[in-house]
Amino acid sequence: MRFLYYRTEMETPRHLTSLADNLKLAYSAAVSRRQQFLIRCLGGSTKKKNFNFQSIRMQSVMSSGPSLEADSVSILRSIIPGLESTKHKGQAGNGEINDDVTHRIDGGWTKWRLALGSRVIRRPLQLKGKIAVVGGCREYTGAPYFSAISALKIGADLSHVFCTKDAAPVIKSYSPELIVHPILEESYSIRDEEKSSISAKVIAEVEKWMERFDCLVVGPGLGRDPFLLGNRYSAPNYNQAYPAGDCVSNIMKHARERNVPMVIDGDGLYLVTNCLDLVSGYPLAVLTPNVNEYKRLVQKVLNSEVNDENGTDQLLSLAKGGMRNGWEIRLPTQRSRIGGVTILRKGKSDFVSDGKTACAVSIYGSPRRCGGQGDILSGSVAVFLSWARQCAAKGEVSMNPTILGCVAGSALLRYAASMAFDNKKRSTLTGDIIECLGRSLQEICPV
């Protein structure tokens, strides 16, 4: 056998150079794995350090120029409340109502509303951490459960589910931790002459609870029953009588009147896309569309197709509901607008915009995309939005609370999904991710 000796690197064949480089990389990777194994054996953690790595750039088809990556870890740590042994149930992690809020109470509701120059008729922010999910029908019982239980796992005090009577026993069987209200009805179970009275009963029942909620999640597992969603949207004036049969539409109008934040996902987005007035101009509304839902929103509001090359500008324009950098609302009527809301566009990287600013969350994540992750996100955003509003009321944050809630919810879900995938790989399911929410939160913000 003949061996050739090459005296210089210039004389070295390319395939041998490539082989040497691969051997170096393999050796380096092996050393790194041994180091991580040693750290784990000594009781340390390698994942927490990775989560602080903020120089990562967006890996997305959206062209955004300079990186829009949000400092997700800092945001999470800034809005997660501490736990104190002196707090009883309903107060843990929510802080005290500050002097400003107390002053507003003493001053009277009318005087406060006039000072704000708004139509807010809800009492001042109570900072309780109570979440309500409006969703769940015969076909879909998992989605509202995933959303509601995720809120509890993150730290909400109570989690309610308003669903149809058929879905209630199933959802109750999933967990005794949830408060389930079987009050919604579907078309197949009622007669035409009963629709008006049943709709009034549904609204009356929800109205009894509405003042207690810090955030509403609308849409998980809701279905598209015409009586349930509502098919008449002729009352943009929120003081007018509500049309009979539009159960969920009327619930959303009541929530808006009382200044209750809403996270809208799933079939709730289908409803909103067909009736933009439900959220148009409401700054406490958060929409969480996936690829197809986002496409329908862009077609309805901007009268155009999704443009990933100018994705950031298009998202800003969609959330703003006006005109920005050449993107224009071309539909003539005011009802085609959706400005004032916050939109969380889900994808390989999650993008968030309130029409004024835009940011992205691309840290971690999982290559395994299982059904139900969006439901976890909606429940997570609801909790973090409530906590961010609490911080804003105290003057601890200056950024829009809806933006903060979206960034925090997205980052935590992506981290939990990554952790679940490390354990289960291809068999990762939504329940596995939910079980990792607590550990993920603990690693980011230890108690």
> pLDDT value at position 85?
66
Could you list the residues known to form a binding site for ATP, using ranges: 346-350, 365-374
Please write down the long-range contacts of 348-352, taking CB distance under 8 Å and 24 or more positions apart. 348/59, 348/60, 348/61, 349/58, 349/59, 349/60, 349/62, 350/406, 350/410, 350/414, 351/60, 351/62, 351/68, 351/311, 351/312, 351/315, 352/70, 352/403, 352/406, 352/407, 352/410
Residues 6+ apart with CB under 8 A from 379: 131, 133, 146, 147, 148, 149, 150, 151, 154, 159, 217
Distance between CA 286 and CA 383 in Å, rounded? 13
Closest CA to 254 of 308, 199, 297, 292: 199
Distance between CA 69 and CA 363 in Å, rounded? 9
> pLDDT value at position 198?
83
> pLDDT value at position 307?
86
Could you list the residues known to form a binding site, using ranges: 221, 290-296, 346-350, 365-375
Q: For 276, which DSSP code?
A: G
Distance between CA 112 and CA 108 in Å, rounded? 6
pTM of the model: 0.75
And the tokens for 328? Answer: 């224009």
> Pairing mode, if any, of strands 358-361 and 130-134?
unpaired
Could you list the residues known to form a binding site for (6S)-NADPHX, using ranges: 221, 290-296, 375
Sheet holding 350-353, edge to edge: 179-184, 158-164, 130-134, 215-218, 262-264, 285-287, 342-345, 350-353, 358-361
pLDDT by residue (tens digit) across 372-411? 999 999 999 999 999 999 999 999 988 999 999 999 999 9
| Spans of the chain below 70 pLDDT | 1-66, 84-128, 231-245, 322-337
> pLDDT value at position 51?
34
